[in-house]
Chain A
Amino acid sequence: MDFGGINPVILIAGLMATSVPILLAALGEAVVERSGVLNLGVEGMMIVGALGGFVVAVHTGSPFAGFLGGAVAGAALSLIFAALTQVFLANQVATGLALTLFGLGLSSLGGQGYNGIKPPHTVGLLPDALAKIPVAGPILFGHDWVVYFSILMTAATWYVLKFTRVGLIIRAVGENHDAAHALGYKVNRIRLLCIMFGGAMAGIGGAYISLVRVPQWVDGITAGAGWIALAIVVFASWRPWRVLAGAWLFGGISVLQLNLQAAGSAIPVEYLSMAPYLLTIVVLVIMSSGRGKASMGAPASLGQNFHAAR
């Protein structure tokens, strides 16, 4: 079953794996932004996570430990952001951008000596026999555990934000930090935890690139994935399942255009390459016309610092 020389089963299985880094990073950032913090340092946290994960995986020989290391590295870097914005009340946009630059430089420095090393192989979760089932096999059963983890995290994030008290508190802090403070919630502490969660998720996403997608360490390995994750959060209007849809769409189009080329299709690839970005703009325009910022679902306190004395 082929369309224009492309097997849709391989395409779907491919896009699920390709989207994992941006999906994880975007999920983390969605939670961060829901708590009212705009952290533009996703790219920096991803690449530090990519390096941290790689180093840990190489030294321990365990990919799982590697992903844990990536999460810790990403969270550790996000603590710098948290300290600057939540304690010293620095501008979030400027701090986030600085965090990206710092992360890129730090990873480049720390990665010296890790070029050309192969990390341990991340194995598939389910037995090979399942993956050999036609059609459903490659799509549903043929992946490594991180792919399933990313989908599980989407469901978990959705559930926590929508149905639990913790989610309600996070949203309250993001919508109106003064009211949340008046109710007795520690706004900055809650935000700090959200920022660390975002850092850990970005770190795991980065580690997926260096441990599974590319399986090696090179400088600048994330190459802008963090920025795409940021775009997806807005595209998804801060909702987890839409984040998943956005990530698969972005990942899908990138896989599709490469497959179309490899199959020798005559469709001009430039249009497909720019499609995700065009779509983001269109969605933004549609969402922001109408009832303004609120209709887009942006948290009302997004990007504003909070100080209890005020």
Chain B
Amino acid sequence: MKRRHLLASASLALGLALGGSAFAQGMDKVKACFVYVGPIGDGGWTYQHHQGALAVQEKYGDKVEIQYQESVPEGADAERVLTQMALGGCNIIFTTSFGYMDATNAVAAKFPDVKFEHATGFKRDHANVSTYNARFYEGRAVQGTIAGMMTKSNKIGYIGSFPIPEVMNGINAYYLAAKKVNPDVQVSVVWAFTWFDPAKEADAAKALIDQGVDVIAAHTDSTAPLAEAAKAGGAVIGFGQASDMEAYKPSPRVSSIIDNWAPYYVERIGALLDGTYEQKDVWAGIAGGEVLIGEITEAVPAEVKAAAEKVRDDIAAGTLHPFTGPIKKQDGSDWLAEGATAPDGDLLGMDFFVEGITAELPK
């Protein structure tokens, strides 16, 4: 059984190599594999990726076989899982967390005929590695607008996972948007150093609330921060992260960022099926439909809602960039000149706070 399986995958790989090298050729059946950093029941990040996988299954039916593994740690384990998947006949493997970046590229080097798709990373060391990402910071600008207008204590909070560029973009965009509508606003940042640990996320939210924060944005994967905010009985609001988290409507969840991966997954696997697959680097935002802003609930006054929706629509139309100069870095050095917008390269490598944020950045 095992040998036959191996032979089958080897012949498949051979066919791919022959077909792929000279001219693109479609496939009859694709085995698409997904590596998740948390459980699919997290109600946030991984849940949303899995919804994308399910959408692929629905769209192509018998022509795709979906395989996934949950709660794969970032690090050496990821490489083992990826190797197993590649050996197990996966044609395309989606690695859905930043921390899988090096593992993805290392395994991709060994399996040139398997397509690798890494979410939120920037390394494409081999021809079979593509990256895809969403401009989450655009959604953060919408949340920051709500936060700045809604806060009564002028203290807003942000639960960070790890100090990586994606999260730095989020914090900075959130703060800048809040400051634009409320010059007195201060942001408190708490690093959880985990993507998924509901108890710790709840503790982080509690620590922020204890410090007088009344608007909390979370950049971790579970709904725990919202559950903690709910205990405050309406005095603290927050946002759905990665998924809509509609169970916490209308308050504390007053809006949300929804990661919409399904169209991308459907497109990429479709391309593999009909032979038009190419290496890509995709980074779409609100305009591309990859970042959706969840319904702004009635817990928010109408003028706040209107302001937030204007930010959303302006970003979608391309008339507003969340990072528009003049912006200085935290240490006072210049980053963006008057009217300049942040180049993508700066955003993808962002490792600094903007001026006005008092929190220390962990080294």
A-B contact pairs, 19 of them (CB 8 A): A10-B210, A14-B203, A14-B210, A108-B39, A115-B41, A116-B223, A218-B43, A219-B41, A222-B199, A255-B207, A258-B207, A259-B210, A262-B207, A262-B211, A262-B213, A264-B360, A265-B360, A269-B191, A270-B362
Query: How would residues 183 to 224 of chain B score, 1 for a CB under 8 Å from any chain A CB and 0 otherwise?
Result: 000001111011011111111101110110100000000111
Q: Are A263 and B211 in contact (CB under 8 A)?
A: yes
B interface residues (Cβ-Cβ under 8 A, vs A): 38-43, 70-71, 157, 188-191, 193-194, 196-204, 206-208, 210-211, 213, 222-224, 227-228, 230-231, 245-247, 358-360, 362-363
CB pair B42–A218 under 8 Å, yes or no, is: yes
B-contact 0/1 string along A183-215, CB 8 Å cutoff: 000000000000000000000000001000111
Whole-angstrom distance between the alpha carbons of A258 and B190 in the complex? Answer: 6
Least CB distance from A142 to B in Å reads: 13
Q: Does A99 touch B at the CB level, under 8 Å?
A: no
Q: Give chain B residues whose Cβ lies under 8 Å from the Cβ of A154.
A: none
B363 touches A118 (CB 8 A): no
Interface core residue of B39, B189, B194 (most chain A CB under 10 Å)? B39
Task: Identify 12 new A-B residue pairs, CB closer than 8 A, beyond the known A224-B197, A258-B203.
Answer: A5-B211, A14-B207, A21-B199, A213-B202, A213-B203, A218-B41, A221-B198, A261-B359, A262-B157, A262-B210, A262-B211, A268-B363
CA gap between A218 and B246 in the complex, in Å: 15
Q: Does A220 contact B (CB under 8 A)?
A: yes
Q: Tell me, yes or no, whether A273 is within 8 Å of chain B by CB.
A: yes
- Tell me if A219 and B223 are in contact (CB < 8 A): no
Let me know if A261 and B196 touch, CB within 8 A.
Answer: no
Taking A220-B71, A223-B199 as contacts, is the C-beta distance between A261 and B190 under 8 angstroms?
A: yes
Query: Which of A's residues lie within 8 Å of B, judged by CB?
Result: 5, 7, 10, 14, 18, 21, 108, 111-112, 115-118, 209, 213-216, 218-225, 254-255, 258-259, 261-266, 268-270, 273
Q: How far is the CA of A29 from the CA of B65 in the complex (A)?
A: 44
B210 and A223 contacting across the interface, CB-CB below 8 Å: no
Alpha-carbon distance A212/B322, docked complex (angstroms)? 38
A264 CA to B199 CA in the complex, in Å? 21
Instruction: With both chains docked as a complex, state the minimum distance between the C-beta of B330 and any C-beta of chain A, in angstroms.
Output: 12
Question: Which residues from chain A contact B206 at a C-beta distance below 8 Å?
Answer: 14, 258
- If A10-B210, A218-B224 touch, does A264 touch B358 (CB 8 Å cutoff)? yes
In the A-B complex, the 7 residue pairs with the smallest Cβ-Cβ separation, listed nearest first, are A219-B39, A116-B247, A258-B207, A219-B41, A223-B197, A262-B211, A261-B190
Question: Which residues from chain B contact A268 at a C-beta distance below 8 Å?
Answer: 360, 362-363
Q: Quick check: A269 and B362 within 8 Å, CB to CB?
A: yes
Give Cα distance in the complex from A266 to B189, angstroms. 12
B203 and A18 contacting across the interface, CB-CB below 8 Å: yes
Residue numbers in B under 8 Å from A214 (CB-CB): 198-199, 201-202, 222, 224, 227-228
Q: How far is the CB of B146 from chain A (nearest CB, A)?
A: 20
Q: In the complex, are the beta carbons of A116 and B43 less than 8 A apart?
A: yes
Q: Which residues of B are found within 8 Å of A7, using beta-carbon distances?
A: 210
Chain A residues lying within 8 Å of B201, measured Cβ to Cβ, are: 214
Residue of B whose beta carbon sits closest to that of A208: B199
B199 touching A218 by the CB < 8 A rule? Answer: no
State A239–B207 Cα separation when bound (angstroms). 31
